[in-house]
Each structure stands twice: as structure tokens, then as C-alpha cells.
Structure 1
Amino acid sequence: MDSTAARAAPEHRWRGIANLRRAVLMLFVFGQTAVASYYLLWVLPYHGGTALELGMLVLFAILYAWIAVGFWTAVFGFVIRLTGGDRHSMLKRHTEAELLKTPLAKTAVLLPIYHEPVHWTLSGLKAVYRDIERTGQIEHFEFYILSDSRDPDVWLEEQTAWSKLAKELGGEGRIFYRRRPVNLNYKSGNVADFLRRWGRRSTYMVVLDADSLMSGSTIVRMVRLMQLEPAVGILQTNPSIINGQSLFARIQQFANRFYSTLFATGLAAIQMGDAAFWGHNAILRIEPFMKHCGLRKLPGFGIFGGPIMSHDFVEAAYMGRAGYEVWLEPGLGGSYEESPPTLADELARDSRWAKGNLQHLWIMLREPGLRFAHRMAFLNGIMAYVASPLWLGFLILTTIEAANMTLSPIEYFPEGHQGLFPLWPEWRPEWALGLALSTLALLFFPKFLAIIDAVIHRLTKDFGGLFRLFCSVLLEIVISVLLAPVRMWAHSRYVLSALLNVSLQWAGQNRTEETSWKEALITQLPGMLLGAGWSAFAWSLDTMFFFWSLPVALPLILAAPTAVYLSRNSLGQALKNRRLLLIPEENKTMTLLEDAIRFRSREQTDSTLTPLEQAVLRLDHNRLHQALAWDHRRGSRKAELESCVARCLAEGPDVLSRSEMSQIARDRESLRVMHEGAWRAPPDSFWGRAIGRLRL
């Protein structure tokens, strides 16, 4: 199906409604920002009469408008839910009976992985498989584990676990494993490799992350919606965060689950068929995706050159440019992911995302034919990180202004001011208070609006009851206030590093470890020193300015203990036991989630040998890996492989580099020779001792 066919599909008149909603949103945002900026002009002593104050005004207007977008999006979501939902959404256009009558098409479920915990990750896929099986529609689905792992101990374990999983589920010929020998273009390159090889086997693909879970009924429902809507290229769900154990993860989980109801509803109503793709927990129409969504390397300089790191927004924009619609449907439900367990893990992830999002600036400004809504989605993603250095810049300019007023004589004729009459500096504390309250309202009122929404729709019981829900919201606000300056400082560094094109390492996400005091002090020390220094300088200038600085300086000073205590699983579980920070999924039985927990908690009974040692010694493992390996003994590589095998047999795998060990594990003949040679090894050799452990 090409773009012409997409445009010829039934039109639901949504575009005019979307334009009207966006116009109303912009009117509210820019109108409110203009009023707030006018107030700031009268709060400043010279009313914008200096270059410094003009700089403060510009930064304030940009930042105020950005947070106003979030505020009005939540208000839109509240109003739409109050009126019974968006009647123009995809779900509202089709009855349940119509959906049930719709036949399914072949769909591929993709699980791209990179150095993830193998048992934990594939147990999640097993839970998804079983849930689709319960719908009675499993024959329409194929599953692909797409590995980019480079460590042989990891990918050998992946191959063994895949084989075991396929046999256990009776999924031979339905569950496939593929590891790319060359890791190009990150996750998007992994998916592209799948499409080149197997893309034409299926009509749709459902893309998961390593921590994704999706219910079978939701996946089947998405396929049917795509069947009924031939103009839709991507259908994105709104994943809920689950399984939080640490205090940090439970805070993130509660905030996502409780507040996103309003924000996602409002966002979906504003974007409509011009929504974004978030890279996972979504279904995509394969043919137009293959035809229109290939990612070329950026032709620019620095970070604006080379492969695109954050691919999802770009693919949605390309799908829209080709004439297809992209929808976010919050009403689907049954879509889940997990949160980083610690602040350090979240910031490590953000360091990668910051660079990827900043790359979108090149695409937003230079890529032809993109829809305006998708360009705005790029801008919003960029602002998610650029807002931090802008806030930092605003604080710096404010500090300079305070220092000038305290340490320098009053300028009655500041730069740019001409005339016979002096410009008298004025302070309007009542206006400053009103402006501060307005900004706080933008940040925190949507959180209390979510409580009102929960009361109206009788959802408070799912979150522990009204009183506990209110306490949970207050606790989340306190933690978010503590974390905001820490994130501001970290994101400012990440943006600077990205602009300087500092190289980044991509790795699997930590899912269990707590933050140590040593780690917290090392990573947070620069911010702690900055906060302490700024607070001391504010005290030396003016007592009132010191108190004004505390909401930013104090969280920076306390960053290390904040990071440590938020990482504690014991604190998270203590609050859970008191029914605080609860989410509905913890109050009701869900087979998918119970399966995932049960499968992941099962102890693995393998020996103490590493996956690499098992691949050499265990006959069943060795034969499996031989079957998946290739013959690489050609030309000069034959002598190189024979040398590596001889060294490994004589001294063990530790004498080889990871690359050399990977070459052995990828070569069929080397695996055979290693197995036979290891079993002939003397008892006091490395392999002899390994055989002893295997027998035990």
C-alpha cells in the first residue's frame, strides 16, 4: 500500500478538528506567556531596560511557554475525559462487535536486545507469548529475538535460552533468534536487518523493548484496528510503568500511572493522526515502513552527522510524510514497561537520549515535507533536555542581576536608555509573588487535577483510597522538587557533551543494584559543590536572595543522600506495605503480570560454569551453537582461528580477548574442536577443572 492508497482510505475528518484544537492550545499558551512576561518586566528593577534583563526575559518566555504546553495538555485531557472521551479516537470509531468480526493478519513480534539479563528478558517474552496463546490467535503471530549483544558469554546464553524457550512453548518454527555479527545504527539498524531478511513474511510488526509487556488481548485488538484503518501506519499505546521495587522506581511508576491518564489523553487529542512513535509497545504497518522509513545518516557536522540515535520520532515523521497516519491510543491499556531502578540509571539513560534528541534539530529544520505536528514533536523532545541549560542560564543571569544590585551603584542611565530623565529602579514584590505562584500552578496544578479526575471517575480506590492517594501525590511532589535541580545540572552537562560530540557507550539497563554511598558521592559531588558555592554566594549578597536560592541549592547539596535513599528497595517496599504510591495493577490480578513475575523468579538450575564454558563442554549446548554458527575458516582467518583455539585449549578462555573468543564461538569447526579438545584435557588444566565443576 503506497501513499496514494493511504490518502484514498476513508477520511474521518479529524485533521480540521486537530487544527482547531492546536490553535486553541497555542492561543492559551502564548496568551498566558505574554501576560507572564509582562509581569516579569515589571518585576525586574529596570523593566527590561538592560541587556541582562532582556536576556532574562527571553529565557523566561521560552521556558514558561514550554511548561504551559504541558499544563494545557493536562487540562485538555481532563476536559475530554469529563465529556466521555474523544469521539474521534480510533477506538471510538469502531464497536466491539465490529472488532471481533475483523480477521487478523500475520504479525511479527520483535524483541531487540543488547546485553540484557537473558533469563529475565526472555521470561517477559514468554509471558507475552502465553497471553496471546490464551486469546486463541497464536497462529497469526511470529516472534523474533533480535540480538546486538557483543559479549560471547551473553549471546551464547541467549541462544541457549531461546532454544529452551521454543521447546518449552512448543514454538519451534514460530520463535526465532537472530544475532547481528556487525552492530550498525543501534536499535533501528537491528530492526532494519530484520526487515531486509523477513519483513515480507508479515503485514504488521509489534515492537517491544527488553522490559516491555503487552497483553495478548491488546495486541490482537491493535491488529484488528490496523485492519480496519488502512490509512494508519503506526498505532502507539501509552505504556504504564510497573514492577517498581526501589523508592525511586515506585515514585516514577506512580507518577506515570496516575498523571499520564490526563497527559496522554490530552496529547492524543491534540496530535490525533499526527502522533509520535516511542520506539516500543506499538504496532507498525510493515510495507510502508520499509518503503518510507529508512534512516539515512545525517550529512551535517558533529552530532548532526552520522547515524540517527533516536530513531522513533523520525520514523513517525517519515510515515506521516508518506501520507500515513500515526495515532496514540491511551484507551488500549494492557501495555507495560519498567522504570530504571535508581537516579543514576535514569541519568545514564538520559545521557544517551539527550544526544539523540538534539540530533532531531537538524531533521526538524532541514528535512523537507514533514508535517508541522511532527516538527513540533521534535521541538518538544529537544526542549526536554535543552530546557535544563536554559533554566541554568536563567539562574545565572538572575544571580548576576542580584549581584549588580547589591555590589554596584544604581545606574540611572543604563545601557540603551536615552533621554533627559533617569530610569529609576523599581521593585514590585507583590507582582513577583504572583508570577511565582503562576509558575508553580503550571507545574503542580495538573497533579491535583488528576486527583479530581480520579474522584469523578471513581478511581481513587485503585490507588489506595482518597487519603492515601493525596499523600502519595504530596510525596511525589516533594521528591520531584528534590530531583528537579539534580536533573537540571545533569541534563545541562549532557547537552554540552552532545554539542561537543563526546562519544557515548550504549549498554543494557541495570535492573537490580542499589546506589552505594561511594558511587553517589563521586557522581553527585560537582553538583553538590555548585549548590553549596552558589548558596554561600547568595548569603554574602543578600539574605532574601539566599532564601530565594534554597529551592535549587538545597537539593543539589543533598543530591548524594537523595540518590542513595531513593535507590533503596526496602524504602519502596515499606511504602507499598502502607499502601502508598500504589497503582491499580498492584490491586488486581492480571495473568500477564503474574506470569512474568513467576517466570522471572524461577531459579536457573544450570551449573556454575559460564555460558562460554558450557558451550564448549556440554554436548547439547555445543551442538546447538554449532548449528547456529558458520564456517569462517577461509584464507588467513583459518590460521588465526586455529591459533586462538590452541591457546584457549592450553590456557583457558581468559588468555583471549572478547573479540577472539567471539570468533571461536561463531565458527562451527572451532566449536567442534574445542569440545573434543577440552574433554581430552589433563585433570589439572583449566578445562580439566571445568569438567570437574560440570560433573558436580
Structure 2
Amino acid sequence: MIKGQTTEPRRHRWRLVANLRRTVFMLFVFGQTGVASYYLLWVLPYHGGTALEISMLVLFAILYAWIAVGFWTAVLGFVIRLMGGDRHSIVKRHTEAQLLQTPMAKTAVLLPVYHEPVHWTLSGLKAVYRDIERTGQIDHFEFYILSDSRDPDVWLEEQVAWNKLARELGGEGRIFYRRRPVNLNYKSGNVADFLRRWGKRCTYMVVLDADSLMTGSSIVRMVRLMQREPDVGILQTNPNIINGQSLFARIQQFANRFYSTLFASGLAAIQMGDAAFWGHNAILRIEPFMKHCGLRKLPGIGIFGGPIMSHDFVEAAYMGRAGYEVWLEPALGGSYEESPPTLADELARDSRWAKGNIQHLWVMLTEPGLRFAHRMAFLNGIMAYVASPLWLAFLVLTTIAAANMALSPIEYFPDGHQGLFPLWPEWRPEWALGLALSTLALLFFPKFLAIFDAIIHRYTKAFGGLLRLFLSVVLESLISVLLAPVRMWAHSRYVVSALLNVSLQWAGQNRTEETGWKEAFITQLPGMLLGGAWSVFAWSLDTLFFFWSLPVALPLVLAAPTAVYLSRVSLGQALRERRLLLIPEENKAMTLLRDAVDYRAREPSDSILTPLEQAVLRLDHNRLHQALAWNHRRGSRALELERCVAQCLEQGPGALSRSEMSQVARDRQSLRALHAGAWRASPDNYWGRAITRLSSETYDTQV
């Protein structure tokens, strides 16, 4: 099928519906924000008569509108589900019988990796492969492991694990491995490298993250939907978080799995064919992606110059500009990922995302031809982090206002006030209470609306039953209150760092380690000092203001113990045993998830030798790496490689830098020379001692 087969009336019909929904949605958001801002105006003593109060009003309006967007998205999702789903979604356009009759097309499954746990990551890919195999459609798929790993011990292990996986699955000629020698433009550059080399082999590509899992039936269904919808360039699923072990991960897992039912349904109903792309667990039409979604370097200065770091939203916007549709379809299901196990890991990830999202400001404001909905998606992503410093600024202004009222005499002619008559300050505590309660309702009502949805659609049992579901929501809400100020402080720092263009380190994600007390106090100490100082200052000003500050200050003071205890796996498992924070996937076993857990549990026996040492000494490993290496001995490089090989044989790999060792391990002749030279080494040489360890390991295995 080719672009243009979808009828024009159908295309215009969904755009008309989308525009109507968005108009009504924004009327609710801005209407409610206007009413709340009016209330704040009359709560403030001088009713906006000072520059300080005007600043507070502006910040409040922005933050309230941001919260209202989330509130009305959940409400719309609730209404959509109450009506039996969105009849305008592409999933609703085709019956199961029609999809089963739809021919398949060649599809590439991409797994970009960067210093990920090798066995763990490829075991997930193995589970996905097996699940597609069970659909009977495996012949239509190819799998590509795309490595950006720089450490030789990591990528040499990746090559061995890939070879073993391909042989075990009978996937020779179907499962491929490629490592880029030069790591340019992060993940998007890795995918671009694949497209330049192999893009024309397939019609579609399914992009996974290292922690992604997708059912074979869902992937096959996505391919068939793309076949029947030639105007769709990207089809995005809604990934659910699974396999949470620590208390923090289980909190995130429960919140994602339970609340996203409403939020994803509402978001999909608003965005329709102008949805965002989240970079993974999605299927993309390769030809238009290659033609229209190349990422240029930004021409600005600082953060707004150089390569685009967060590529996914930009690629969706470019696809939309080219006339293709981008859909989010929560009803597809069968899409999973994992959560960072600790607060520290989540914040480390957010530090990268914050910089990438703020960079989108340049694209949003300067890129021509983008659809308005995609510009709003950029704004939404930017606000996910900028809201934190705005909230912090609002708290600072509130503190200044309280200090002025407590320490300074009342001003009857404040700055900006003209006239013969004084401006009398007024206090309306009942209005202030009503405004605070309405803000809390925006934040917490969607959580309990999700409970009503579960009751109506009869899936409370999947979350442990109504009582346990209610207790889980309460527990998650309490912990979210504790975490909100900590995230606010961290995100504020990240936004400032991003604007100052502080360089970042990209690394693989921690998936198992808990947070220690020393680490927690070191990382959280600035926020703890800030919270403590603010509380002391608030107490010195006014007792009432002190109590008003506690919901923000107290979580900051308790940030270190919060981070430590949330990282504990024992606490997470204790709640699971009591069937709290439960998700449906833990109640009903799924073949894909069971396979992933089973494969990952089969850890290969630890070798005494490092992957690099095995690459040199073991003949089977050495021949494999030679087969994947190239001949790089040309000109001056030949002399440099000879020097590195000689130094490595004499002193061991520690005598070379990581870059030098990578160059050696990528050269076929050097690998051959290392193997021959190491086996001729004297017993007291580095390689002689390594051979002794290898011999004892082989003997132990045989015994």
C-alpha cells in the first residue's frame, strides 16, 4: 500500500473531530484557569496592586493551567472509556477478521543499546523473538542489535552473546549485530546509521529500548494496521511499566499501569493523528521516515546549537509536516518497559531528558511548517521540567510577600498605585481555602476517577480488589506528595544546568542496586538544607506561614531517608505479598513476561576471565571477533596498532587506554597476533597468568 489510499473524507473527518475536541478542551482549561486566577487576585491583599502580586498571579496562572491540562485529559479519558472507546481511532476502523486477512510486510525490530547489561538485555529480545515466532509470522521480521557501547569488555561480550542468541534461536540471517565505531548523535544517530545501511530492506521498523518488551500479537497487529492505513507514518503504543522490585519501582509501576488507562485514552483522543512519538515501543514507516525525519544540527548557541539530543518528538513533528499521521493507540496493549529502581536513577535520567526537552524550544519556535498540535506537544514536554522552577519561583515570591506583611508596615500607596485615596489591604481566608482545595482537586481527583473507571469496567480484581486498590491509590498519593518537592528542586537545577549548557554523561541504566545512606545524603543534602532553612525562616515570620510551608519543606528535609527506603526491594516485596500496589500482569501470567523472567534468570556462569581476555585466549571467541573485525592496518595506523599489540602482550590490556584497546579489538590482524602471542607468553607474564586461570576454570567446569 502507498500513501494516499486513505479516502479524503476520512482524513478530514478525524481532523474536524480533533479540532472540535481541542477547542472544547482548551475552553475548559483556560476557563477554569481564569476563574482560579480571579480568585487569587482577590485573595492577595492588594488585589494585584503591586509588581510582586502581579508576578505571583502570572506564575500561578501558568502553573494552574498546566495542572488543569492533566485534569481535563483524565476526565476526557474517563468519558471516552464510558462511551466504549474512541470510535475515531484507527484501531476501531478495522475488524479482527479484516486484520487477519491483511498481508504482512518485511519489518525490522531495532534494539539500540549503550553499555546495558548484556545477558539481561538480549534475554528480553529473545522473549520478543519467541513471542513473534508463536504468531507464525517470524519470517516477516528481522532483528538488529545496534550497539553504541564504547568499553571493549562490553561490546566484545555483546558480540559473543549475539552469536550465541542467533545460534540458539536458529536466527542466523535474521538476527544481526552492528556496533558503530564512532558514537555520533546518540540513539538517533545509531538508528540513522542502520537506515543508511539497511533501510531499504524493510517496509517498517519497530523500535525497542533495552528494557522494552512487546507481545508478538501486538507487533503483528501493528504491522497489519500500518498496511491498511498508508497515511500513518508512526503508530505508537502505550508502554506499561512492569517487573518493579523496589518500593520506588513498584510505586511508579502501579501509577503508570492504573492511571494511564485514563490519561492515555484522553491524550489519544485529543491528539488523534497528531500524536507524539516516545522513541520506543512504536512502529514507523521507513520510507517517509528516511525521507523527511533526518535531524539537522541546531544553528543556535549553547544548548540551542549542535545535534538534537531528544529526537522522538522532533521526528513525529517532521512526519506530520510531511503529511503523514502519527497515532497513539492505547487499545493495542502488549507493550511494556521498566522503571528506574531508585529515585536517584530516575533523577539521573531526568537530567538528560530535561536538557533534550528544553532544546525543543528552538524547534518549536523556529521550525517552519510544523502542525500546531506538534508544537503544543513540544510545549507540553518543555513544561514537564520548566514547571518546577516556576513552582519554586512562586514559592519564593510567596515567601517574600509573607515577609513583607510580617516585617514591614502596611503600605497604603504601594508601587504602581496612583490616586488620592489609599489602597486598603484585604484578606479573604475563605477564598484562599477554596482556591487551595480546588488545586488539590485538580491534582488528586483523577486518581480517584480512575477507581470509578475500574469499578464501572469491572477490573478492580486485577489490581487486588477494590479495598486493596483504594489503599494502593492512597499509598501512592502519599508518596507522590513526598516526592513532588524533591523532584521540583532537582528539576529546577536541571533546567538551570541545561540553559547554562552544562555537559552531561550518558550511561546505561542501573537496574538492581539500592541507594545507600551516604549516597542519599550527598545527593539530597542541598535540598535538605534548603527545606530546613525555609522552615526556620517561615517559623520566624509567622506560625501560620510555617504550617503552610510544611508540605514543601518537610519532604525536602526528609529527602535522604525517603530515597533510601524507597530503593529497598524488601519493602516493595512486602507490599506485593500483601497484594498492595499490584498490577494485572502480576495476577495473570503472560507468556512473554514469563519467558523474559525465565531467560534473564539463566545467568551464564561467571568466568574468571574478562570478555577481553576471553577474546584473546579462547579460540572460538577470537575467531568470532576476527570475523566481525576489519583490516585497519594502513599507513601510520599499522605502526600504531603494532605498538599497541606489543605493549598489550608485554604488560596486559591495562597498559592501553580504552580507545587504544578498542582499536586493537576492531582489527582482525591484531586479534590474530594477540591470540598467538598470548599463548606463547611465559608463565609469569600477564597472559601466562590468565592462561592459568582459564585452565583452572576449564578443569572446574569439566569436573
Q: Same fold (TM over 0.5)?
A: yes
The reply on whether 1:314 has 2:314 as its aligned counterpart is yes
**Aligned counterpart, 2:143:** 143
- What SS does the aligned partner of 1:13 have? helix
Q: Aligned equivalents of 1:674 and 1:568: distance in 2?
A: 45
1:659 is aligned to 659
Shift in Å at residue 607 of structure 1? 2.1
Correspondence list, 1:32-51, <5 A? 32-51=32-51
Equivalent residue of 2:508, what SS? coil
The letter for the 2-side match of 1:42 is W
How many Å separate the matches in 1 of 2:270 and 2:383?
Answer: 18
Aligned partner of 1:694 in structure 2 is 694
Shift of 1:52: 0.2
1:656–1:631 distance in 2 versus 1, CA, 3 Å: same
Cα distance in 2 for partners of 1:692, 1:133 equals 43
Note the C-alpha offset of 1:5. Answer: 7.0
The alignment status of 1:301 with 2:319, answered yes or no, reads no
Shift of 1:686: 1.0
1:435 matched residue in structure 2: 435
Q: CA offset at residue 693 of structure 1?
A: 1.1
One-letter amino acid of the counterpart of residue 525, structure 1? L
For structure 2, the 5+ residue unaligned runs are 697-703
Say if 2:555 is the partner of 1:547.
Answer: no
2: CA distance, partners of 1:16 / 1:389 = 37
What is the aligned partner in structure 2 of residue 216 from structure 1? 216
Confirm or deny: 8 A CA contact 1:247 1:566 kept in the other structure. Answer: yes
Contact 1:4–1:323 (Cα < 8 Å) also in 2 = no
- Inter-partner Cα distance in structure 2 for 1:2 and 1:366: 31
The equivalent residue for 2:362 is 362
Name the SS of the counterpart of 2:370 in structure 1: coil
Counterpart of 2:74 in structure 1 is 74
Contact in 1 for aligned 2:156/2:625 (Cα 8 Å): yes
Q: 1:690 & 1:90 partners in 2: Cα distance?
A: 60
| Cα distance in 2 for residues equivalent to 1:613 and 1:9 | 64
Other-structure match for 1:460? 460
Within a 5 Å distance, the mapping from 1:234-383 to structure 2 comes to 234-383=234-383
**Matched residue of 1:159: which SS?**
helix
1-structure distance, mates of 2:350, 2:606: 36
How many angstroms apart in 2 are the aligned matches of 1:636 and 1:7? 61
Deviation at 1:603, TM superposition (A): 2.4
Aligned match of 1:633: 633
Superposed, 1:583-602 pairs within 5 Å as: 583-602=583-602
* Cα shift at 1:6: 7.4
Counterpart CA distance in 1 for 2:38 and 2:370 is 34
Q: CA deviation at 1:602?
A: 0.4
Q: CA deviation at 1:589?
A: 1.3
Q: Which stretch has the larger CA shift, 601-610 or 292-301?
A: 601-610
Gaps of 5+ in 1: none
Determine if the alignment matches structure 1 residue 533 to structure 2 residue 545.
no
Query: Which residue in 2 is equivalent to 1:557?
Result: 557
- Which residue matches 2:390? 390
Q: Deviations over 1:135-168 (max 9, x none)?
A: 0000000000000000000000000000000000
Could you tell me whether the CA contact under 8 Å between 1:530 and 1:556 is conserved in 2? Answer: yes
What letter matches 2:355 in structure 1?
K
Find the aligned partners of 1:3 and 1:205 in 2 and give their Cα distance. Answer: 17
State the shift of 1:98 in Å. 0.3
RMSD: 1.0
Residues 153, 611 of structure 2: 8 Å contact kept: yes
Q: Tell me how far apart the structure 2 counterparts of residues 159 and 70 of structure 1 sit (CA, whole Å).
A: 44
Encode CA deviations 1:567-610: one digit per residue, 9 max, x unaligned. Answer: 00000000000000000000001000000000000021252110
Output the CA distance in 2 between the equivalents of 1:9 and 1:638: 65
Equivalent in the alignment of 1:608: 608
Question: Helix, strand or coil for the counterpart of 1:11?
Answer: helix
Report the alpha carbon displacement of residue 21 of structure 1 after superposing the two structures with TM: 0.3
The residue that corresponds to 1:569 in the other structure is 569
Moved more, 638-647 or 333-342: 638-647
Q: Residue 469 of structure 2 corresponds to which residue in structure 1?
A: 469
The AA in structure 1 aligned to 2:145 is I
Cα distance in 1 between the residues matched to 2:643 and 2:325? 56
Q: 1:12 and 1:307 mapped to 2: Cα distance?
A: 35
Q: TM-score, normalised by structure 1?
A: 0.99
- Does structure 1 retain, via aligned residues, the 8 Å contact 2:319–2:325? yes
1:513 corresponds to = 513
Output the CA distance in 1 between the equivalents of 2:548 and 2:2. 58
Counterpart amino acid of residue 57 in structure 1 = L
1:373-416 residue CA offsets vs partner (Å, 9 max, x unmatched)? 00000000000000000000000000000000000010000011
Contact 1:471 1:580 in 2 (8 A): yes
Partner of 1:89: 89
- Structure 2: how far apart are the matches of 1:223 and 1:7? 20
> Cα distance 1:24–1:8, how it changes in 2: closer, same or farther (>3 A)?
closer
2:445 is the counterpart of 1:445: yes
Shift in Å at residue 7 of structure 1? Answer: 8.2
Partner Cα separation in structure 2 for residue 564 and residue 11 of structure 1: 52
Aligned position for 2:494? 494
Q: 1: distance between equivalents of 2:606 and 2:365?
A: 54
Q: Secondary structure at the match of 2:422?
A: coil
The 8 Å contact of residues 7 and 231 in structure 1, kept in 2 or not, is answered as: no
Equivalent-residue separation in structure 2 for 1:112 and 1:9 (angstroms): 39
- How many angstroms apart in 1 are the aligned matches of 2:632 and 2:621? 20
Q: Residues 276-299 of structure 1, C-alpha deviation per residue, up to 9 Å, x if partnerless?
A: 000000000000000000000001
Aligned-partner SS, 2:155: helix
**Alpha carbons 1:392, 1:489 under 8 Å: kept:** yes
2: CA distance between counterparts of 1:7 and 1:543? 66
Contact 1:304–1:362 (CA<8 Å) still a contact in 2?
A: yes
Q: CA deviation at 1:689?
A: 1.1
Matched, 1:647 2:664: no
Counterparts of 1:300 and 1:4 in 2: how far apart (Å)? 37
Determine whether 1:207 maps to 2:207: yes
Task: Give 1:97 shift.
Answer: 0.3
Q: Please tell me whether the aligned partners of residues 122 and 162 of structure 2 are also in contact (alpha carbons under 8 angstroms).
A: yes
Q: In the alignment, which residue of structure 2 is the partner of 1:98?
A: 98
Describe the SS at the equivalent of 1:144: strand
- Alpha-carbon separation, structure 1, partners of 2:4 and 2:71: 38
SS at match of 2:110: strand
Query: 1: distance between equivalents of 2:650 and 2:182?
Result: 29
Q: Within 2, Cα distance between the matches of 1:280 and 1:591?
A: 21
Give the CA deviation at 1:118. 0.2
Maintained 8 Å contact 1:9/1:230:
no
Alignment: residue pair count? 696
Counterpart position of 2:699? none
- Specify the SS of the correspondent of 2:448: helix
Query: How far apart, in 2, do the equivalents of 1:645 and 1:89 lie?
Result: 60
Amino acid at match of 1:114: Y
The answer to whether the Cα contact below 8 Å between 1:250 and 1:581 also exists between their aligned partners in 2 is yes
Could you tell me which amino acid in structure 1 is paired with residue 571 of structure 2? Answer: L
Distance of aligned partners of 1:298 and 1:7 in 2 relative to their CA distance in 1, 3 Å threshold = farther
1:438-468: CA deviations, max 9, x gaps? 0000000000000000000001000000000
Give, as a single letter, the amino acid of the residue that structure 1 aligns with 2:66. W
Amino acid at match of 2:39: Y
Identity of aligned residues (%): 86
What is aligned with 2:425?
Answer: 425
Q: Output the CA distance in 1 between the equivalents of 2:603 and 2:597.
A: 12
Q: What's the TM-score, normalizing by structure 2?
A: 0.98
Q: Distance in 2 between matches of 1:3 and 1:57?
A: 48
Task: Determine if contact 2:234/2:283 at 8 Å carries over to the other structure.
Answer: yes
Match of 2:183 in 1: 183
**Separation in 2, partners of 1:433, 1:607:** 64
Q: For 2:602 and 2:12, how far apart are their aligned partners in 1?
A: 49
Whether contact under 8 Å (1:6, 1:324) holds in the other structure is no
3-state secondary structure, aligned to 1:283: strand
Q: Deviations over 1:36-76 (max 9, x none)?
A: 00000111010000000000000000000011000000000
